[in-house]
C-alpha cells in the first residue's frame, strides 16, 4: 500500500500547488486591479482639484494685474513716465531709481503695491513704462529694489503692450528664483498704451498649493517642470509625459531643463504607467486654463512591488501549510494503514514462523473447497504434529524450541507444490492444504502417497542451532483427499486429525517394538 499512498500524496501535493498558484494569481490580479482602480481614482480626483486651485491662482494674478493697471493713480503715474527721457538709458539702475523714487506718487503707488503683494503673498508687483523701465515696485524702499531695472525683450511685457495681457514663466534675473509673471497693459482715457503692471509669483510659493498625497507638476509646453510638490522634479524636463503632439521645441527664452529618464510601462493599458528615473508612477494629465501649462499628477506605485511580494509570501505560506497538512495527513493515513496491516497480519499469521495461522487456514480451506467444486478437483489436507516437541523445549529451552519450529516451517515450505499452502494451527501442529486431481481407478491414494513422500522425509534428520544439535526422527502425518461436494471443511480437518493420531500411535508402536 505504501507506493500507492506515495502516488496519492504526490498527486494531492501537485494538485494543491497548482490550485494555490492559480487561485493566488487570480486573487492577486483582482487585488492589484482594485488597488490600481483606487489609485487611478485618487490621482484623477486630486488632479481635478489641484487644477481648479492653480486656475484660480492664475485668474487671481490676472485680476490683480488688471485691477492695479486701472487705478487712476497708476494711470497718472504711467502717463507721467510713459517713456524714458533721452540719456536715461546711460544712467545706472540706482541713478534711475533715485530719480523715480524722488516723486511722491512713485512712492505712494509702490506702497499700495507692497501692501497688496504682502496680502496675497506675491513676490512682487511692479510697473513698467513703454521703455520697459521699472518706474515703481512693491519693494521700492528695499535694498534689492528693482526700480530702475530695464526689462527689455521680456515676452510677458511685449504681449501685455501688444495684446493687453501677457504671461510667462522664467528665472528671476536678480534672485534667480523660478517665477510666474502676469502683466496687464495700462491704458489712458483714450485707450492709448502707457505701460504695464506685472504680478510676480514665485514658484516655491505656488508649490505650497500643490498639496496632496501624490506628486503634482506644472509643466510648460517644452516639458520643463516649472513648479513641483517634489523638489527632485523641479526644473527638470519630462516632455515625454505631455499629451502626444503637444510638446514644443525649446523657444530660446528659457533652458529646457535636464531631461529625466522617462519610459512608458503600460501606456496602452487602462492606466497610464511610467518609469521616471527608475521609479514607477501612474500618470494623470489635466489641462489648465492657461494653455501654456499642463498639470501632471504622478501617483507613486512603489507599493505595487511590495504588494506583489506580499501576495507571493502569503501564497507561499498557504502552499507550505497545505503541503505540511497533506504530508501529515499522509503520514497519519500511512500509520493507520500500517497499523491495520499489522493487525490483519497478527490476526492471520503466526508471529514466530510467519505462516498463516488457524483462522487464516480455515478461510483458505473454505476458498479451496469452493475452487475445487468449480474445477471438479479434490481438496487435500495434511495434518502434521511434531512428535517429541515438548521434550525439545524441556531439554534445550524455549529459544531453541522456537528456532526448531521456524526451521520446520522453512523445510515444509520448501517441499510444497505451487497450489499448496502451509500454516501453523497450534503450538506444534501444522496443516498443508491444496488441490489435487481426482484419483484414478488403479491408485485411489496416489495424491495422499505423493504428499507424504514429499513432506515426511523433510522433517527427519539433524537440526543444528549454534552449539545445539538435535537428531529428529520425524513428525506424525494425517493426510486425506476428499471430494468437496461430499464433505465439509470441519469434517475433512477432523478426518485428517484422526489419521494423524493413528499415524502417531503406529510410530510409537514401531519405536517400542
Burial 39-73 (b: 16+ CB within 10 A, else e): bbebbeebbeebbeebbebbeebbebbbebbebee
Domain count along the chain: 1
* Residue 421 included in any domain: yes
Can you give the pLDDT at residue 7?
Answer: 87
The pLDDT tens digits of the residues spanning 282-295 come to 999 988 888 888 99
* Residue 259 included in any domain: no
Tally of CB atoms within 10 A around 499: 19
> With bands split at pLDDT 50, 70 and 90, how would you rate the model's confidence at 173?
low
Catalytic residue among 133, 428, 497, 503: 428
Can you give the pLDDT at residue 257?
Answer: 86
- In the predicted model, what is the mean pLDDT of residues 444-465? 90
* Residue 48 included in any domain: no
Task: Tell me the percentage of the chain whose pLDDT exceeds 70.
Answer: 96
What CATH number is given to the structural domain containing 501? 3.30.70.270
Can you give the pLDDT at residue 212?
Answer: 86
| Parallel, antiparallel or unpaired: strands 293-300 and 279-287 | antiparallel
The pLDDT tens digits of the residues spanning 7-28 come to 888 899 999 999 999 999 999 9
Show the 3-state SS of 119-134.
Answer: HHCCCEEEEEECCCEE
428 given a catalytic annotation: yes
Q: What is the DSSP string of 149-205?
A: -B-TT-HHHHHHHHHSEEEEEEE-TTT--EEEEEEEEEE-TT--EEEEEEEEEEHHH
The pLDDT tens digits of the residues spanning 298-335 come to 999 888 888 888 999 999 999 999 999 989 988 888 88
Task: Check whether 153 has a pLDDT greater than 90.
Answer: no
How far is residue 20's CA from residue 227's CA, in Å, rounded to a whole number?
48
The pLDDT tens digits of the residues spanning 103-143 come to 999 999 999 999 999 999 999 999 999 999 999 999 999 98
What is the domain extent for residue 368?
A: 358-512
Which residue's entry shows cell 524702499?
141
* Residue 18 included in any domain: no
- In the predicted model, what is the mean pLDDT of residues 405-421? 93
C-alpha cell read off for 291: 494653455
Task: Check whether 347 has a pLDDT greater than 90.
Answer: no
Can you give the pLDDT at residue 269?
Answer: 52
The pLDDT tens digits of the residues spanning 203-244 come to 888 888 888 899 999 998 889 998 999 999 999 999 999 988
Amino acid at each position: 500500500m505504501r507506493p500507492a499512498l506515495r502516488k496519492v500524496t504526490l498527486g494531492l501535493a501537485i494538485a494543491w500547488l497548482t490550485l494555490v498558484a492559480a487561485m493566488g494569481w487570480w486573487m492577486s490580479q483582482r487585488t492589484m486591479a482594485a488597488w490600481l482602480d483606487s489609485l487611478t481614482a485618487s490621482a484623477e480626483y486630486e488632479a481635478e482639484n489641484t487644477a481648479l486651485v492653480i486656475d484660480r491662482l492664475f485668474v487671481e494674478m490676472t485680476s490683480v494685474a488688471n485691477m492695479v493697471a486701472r487705478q487712476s493713480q497708476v494711470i497718472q503715474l504711467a502717463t507721467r513716465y510713459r517713456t524714458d527721457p533721452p540719456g536715461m538709458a546711460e544712467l545706472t539702475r540706482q541713478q534711475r531709481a533715485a530719480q523715480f523714487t524722488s516723486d511722491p506718487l512713485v512712492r505712494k503707488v509702490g506702497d499700495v503695491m507692497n501692501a497688496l503683494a504682502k496680502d496675497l503673498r506675491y513676490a512682487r508687483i511692479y510697473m513698467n513704462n513703454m521703455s520697459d523701465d521699472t518706474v515703481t515696485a512693491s519693494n521700492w524702499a528695499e535694498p534689492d529694489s528693482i526700480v530702475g531695472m530695464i526689462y527689455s525683450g521680456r515676452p510677458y511685457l511685449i504681449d501685455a503692450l501688444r495684446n493687453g495681457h501677457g504671461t510667462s514663466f522664467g528665472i528671476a534675473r536678480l534672485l534667480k528664483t523660478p517665477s510666474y509673471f502676469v502683466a496687464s497693459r495700462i491704458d489712458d482715457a483714450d485707450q492709448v498704451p502707457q505701460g504695464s503692471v506685472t504680478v510676480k509669483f514665485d514658484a516655491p510659493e505656488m508649490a505650497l498649493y500643490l498639496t496632496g498625497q501624490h506628486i503634482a507638476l506644472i509643466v510648460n509646453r517644452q516639458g520643463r517642470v516649472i513648479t513641483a510638490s517634489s523638489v527632485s522634479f523641479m526644473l527638470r524636463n519630462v516632455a515625454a509625459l505631455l499629451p502626444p503632439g503637444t510638446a514644443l521645441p525649446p523657444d530660446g527664452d528659457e533652458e529646457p531643463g535636464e531631461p529625466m529618464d522617462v519610459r512608458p510601462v503600460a501606456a496602452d493599458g487602462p492606466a497610464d504607467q511610467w518609469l521616471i528615473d527608475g521609479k514607477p508612477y501612474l500618470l494623470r494629465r489635466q489641462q489648465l486654463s492657461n494653455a501654456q501649462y499642463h498639470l501632471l499628477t504622478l501617483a507613486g506605485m512603489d507599493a505595487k512591488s511590495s504588494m506583489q511580494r506580499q501576495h507571493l509570501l502569503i501564497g507561499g505560506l498557504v502552499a507550505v501549510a497545505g503541503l505540511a497538512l497533506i504530508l501529515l495527513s499522509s503520514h497519519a493515513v500511512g500509520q493507520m494503514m500500517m497499523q491495520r496491516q499489522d493487525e490483519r497480519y497478527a490476526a492471520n499469521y503466526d508471529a514466530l514462523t510467519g505462516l498463516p495461522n488457524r483462522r487464516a487456514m480455515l478461510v483458505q480451506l473454505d476458498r479451496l473447497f469452493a475452487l475445487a467444486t468449480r474445477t471438479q478437483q479434490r481438496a487435500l489436507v495434511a495434518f502434521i504434529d511434531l512428535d517429541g516437541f515438548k521434550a525439545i523445549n524441556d531439554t534445550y529451552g524455549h529459544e531453541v524450541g522456537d528456532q526448531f519450529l521456524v526451521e520446520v516451517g522453512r523445510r515444509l515450505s520448501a517441499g510444497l507444490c505451487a497450489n499448496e499452502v502451509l500454516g501453523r494451527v497450534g503450538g506444534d501442529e501444522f496443516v498443508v492444504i491444496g488441490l489435487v486431481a481426482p484419483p484414478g481407478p488403479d491408485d485411489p491414494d496416489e495424491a495422499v502417497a505423493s504428499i507424504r513422500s514429499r513432506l515426511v522425509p523433510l522433517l527427519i534428520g539433524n537440526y543444528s542451532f549454534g552449539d545445539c544439535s538435535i537428531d529428529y526422527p520425524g513428525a506424525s502425518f494425517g493426510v486425506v483427499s476428499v471430494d468437496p461436494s461430499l464433505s465439509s471443511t470441519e469434517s475433512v480437518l477432523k478426518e485428517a486429525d484422526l489419521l494423524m493420531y493413528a499415524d502417531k500411535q503406529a510410530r510409537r508402536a514401531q519405536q517400542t517394538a
